Amino acid sequence: MTKEKITQFVENYLPDEDHYIVDIIIKGKEQQKVIVLIDSDEGLNIDTCAKISRSLGADEDFDNLFDGPYRLEISSPGLDHPLKLERQYQKNIGRSVQVTLNDDKILEGSLSEVKEKSIIISPEPKIVKGRKVKSDLKEDTEIMFSDIKETKILITFK
């Protein structure tokens, strides 16, 4: 069983072009847990996840991909999951992000633009112990996708 084969099956049950696969995670050896993370340009609801899960569960060909028992989980990536696809970046324009570069340097700012091969983050004030302090970024900063190790959404409470 490969991620590519799982991807082919899952794509058949996505409701429309707005929905897409973000990642497939396979855990365990004896009873595998297959986690399929999906998202949508317009937002994902639990009914869509349940429908895809039921459809895959009823598909004998999908079931035959696995040698033994397995658990299938269909869900959205959640805010704690790093952004992986350009579509996810587009969806999160205007949000605060933490970008870890390949050299492990960390930049924080507001995701202001997504281009074909890069993103632009803008400085935003940080709040430390109840007071605003200047951002580490001095100006809008363009970052090539090839230089990004990981991008996470920062959860802010205003």
pLDDT over 90 (residue 140): yes
Q: What is the pTM of this model?
A: 0.82
> By percentage, how much of the chain surpasses pLDDT 90?
77
Average pLDDT on 114-138 reads: 78
Q: Position 68: which residue type?
A: G
Query: Which listed CATH number (3.40.50.720, 3.40.50.1000, 3.30.300.70, 3.40.50.10490) goes with 3-75?
Result: 3.30.300.70
Backbone angles phi, psi at 42, to 5 degrees: -105, 5
Element (H, E) at 127: strand 126-128
Phi, psi of 52 (to 5 degrees): -65, -45
Under a CB-based contact definition with an 8 Å cutoff, are residues 10 and 38 in contact? yes
CATH topology of domain 86-153: SH3 type barrels. (2.30.30)
Whether 59 and 33 have beta carbons less than 8 Å apart is answered as no
- Which residues of the chain does CATH 3.30.300.70 include? 3-75
What is the average per-residue pLDDT within 96-105?
A: 95
59 pLDDT above the threshold of 90: yes
Structure tokens of 12?
Answer: 């058949």
Q: Which residues face 152 on adjacent strands?
A: 98
pLDDT for res 80? 84
Query: Quick one: average pLDDT of 66-92?
Result: 92
Q: Residue 132 has what pLDDT?
A: 55
Give ranges for CATH 2.30.30.100 in the chain.
Answer: 86-153
